[in-house]
């Protein structure tokens, strides 16, 4: 369908109105767009004149957006996001060549990708990975990437996504720690254990895990708290207590004998790891992004 410029209002008016609707202030919109407040007001008026309708109720202390205005603001936001993603993707393809921007958490980078990445490089020595890592899930960060891996209880809605795997959660400790306690995790053997907690807990915590595997527990059990999963696992490796290990992350450490699974109990994670991206990656045939995506897909589990 052809687009006629007379069917659309000025793009600058659309951006000004979207900023006012999102930020709830002409002043804040002017600051974000680096123009004067009068210019923002003029652009919004221009859009209202073009539509022959009021979109903003000008009142103090904050303007109110009409129902039609809210719908239009959502449409503008969606359209601009689509355009921006397409432009960024095209820019990455032309400027990066065989470089792929992979967004993952620090934990996933260290414990899952680290032990496996050499197999990818061995098969594809011409591809360069640019790792974008963070302590936060990438869906919560405003970063541009080609592919990402995130843990979520539901399939991410703002991206194309493929579910990779759930994981089993088990109790693990170092051999050094186990020298001072029985290896079997049974009721009545918790009195002197130190449980390593993640705080704030974004995954499965100890009370949830103990309830899931039907193990009685005392709320007064000794605990040590850590701000991220990497420091928590370092404490477990150093023999400072028992941690909840996510099998896909700790399997290499278990295989190396640096940690040991305690007892036979395990619980299934409520969420799953998903591979996500912003656009189709197979339209132009084989490329670096498609190659990396296909490499990840071999790890899909039912």
CA distance 102 to 121: 14
Helix, strand, coil abundance in the chain, percent, nearest 5: 45, 20, 35
Q: Residue 218's pLDDT is what?
A: 66
Residues 6+ apart with CB under 8 A from 259: 172, 173, 174, 236, 237, 245, 250, 253
pLDDT of residue 258: 93
Domain boundaries, the chain: 5-91, 97-166+272-297, 168-268
pLDDT at 89: 60
pLDDT of residue 201: 64
Give the pLDDT of residue 214: 85
What value does the mean pLDDT take over residues 38-66?
Answer: 86
Dump the DSSP string for 13-67.
HHHHHHHHHHHS-HHHHHHHHTS-HHHHHHHHHHHHHHHTS--EE--SSS-EE-H
pLDDT at 273: 92
Q: Are 289 and 146 in contact (CB under 8 A)?
A: yes
The CATH classification of domain 5-91, taken from the options 1.10.10.10, 3.40.50.300, 1.10.565.10, 3.40.50.720: 1.10.10.10
Is 22's pLDDT higher than 60?
A: yes
CATH class (in words) of the domain with range 97-166+272-297: alpha beta
State the average pLDDT over residues 282-301.
79
Give the CATH number of domain 168-268; options: 3.30.70.100, 3.40.640.10, 3.40.190.10, 3.40.50.150. 3.40.190.10
Residue 292 has pLDDT above 90, yes or no: yes
The per-residue pLDDT of the chain, averaged, comes to: 82
For the stretch 70-115, pLDDT in tens is 888 888 887 777 777 666 665 555 545 688 899 998 889 999 999 8
pLDDT band at residue 163 under the 50/70/90 scheme: very high
**Dist CA 218 CA 258 (whole Å):** 28
Let me know the angle formed at the C-alpha of 37 by 34 and 39, rounded to the nearest 5 degrees: 80
Angle between helices 37-51 and 26-33 (to 10 degrees): 110
Helix (H) or strand (E) holding 158: none
| Under 8 Å between Cβ of 292 and 129 | yes
């Amino acid at each position: 369908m052809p687009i006629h410029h007379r069917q659309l209002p000025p793009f600058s008016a659309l951006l000004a109105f979207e900023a006012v609707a999102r930020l709830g202030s002409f002043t804040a919109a002017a600051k974000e767009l680096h123009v004067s407040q009068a210019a923002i007001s003029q652009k919004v008026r221009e859009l209202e004149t073009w539509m022959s309708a009021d979109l903003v109720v000008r009142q103090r202390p904050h303007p109110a957006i009409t129902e039609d205005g809210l719908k239009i603001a959502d449409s503008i936001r969606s359209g601009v996001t689509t355009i921006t993603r397409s432009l960024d993707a095209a820019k990455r393809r032309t400027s990066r060549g065989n470089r792929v921007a992979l967004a993952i958490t620090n934990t996933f980078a260290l414990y899952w990708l680290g032990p496996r990445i050499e197999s990818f490089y061995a098969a594809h020595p011409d591809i360069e990975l640019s790792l974008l890592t963070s302590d936060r899930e990438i869906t919560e960060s405003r970063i541009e990437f080609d592919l990402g891996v995130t843990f979520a209880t539901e399939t991410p809605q703002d991206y194309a996504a493929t579910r990779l795997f759930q994981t089993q959660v088990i109790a693990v400790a170092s051999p050094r720690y186990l020298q001072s306690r029985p290896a079997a995790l049974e009721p009545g053997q918790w009195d002197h254990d130190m449980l390593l907690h993640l705080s704030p807990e974004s995954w499965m915590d100890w009370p949830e895990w103990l309830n899931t595997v039907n193990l009685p527990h005392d709320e007064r059990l000794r605990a040590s708290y850590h701000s991220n999963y990497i420091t928590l696992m370092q404490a477990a490796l150093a023999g400072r207590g028992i941690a909840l290990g996510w099998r896909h992350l700790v399997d290499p450490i278990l295989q190396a004998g640096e940690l040991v699974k305690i007892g036979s109990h395990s619980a299934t994670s409520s969420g799953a790891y998903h591979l996500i991206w912003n656009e189709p990656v197979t339209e132009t045939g084989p490329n670096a992004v498609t190659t990396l995506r296909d490499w990840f897909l071999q790890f899909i589990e039912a």
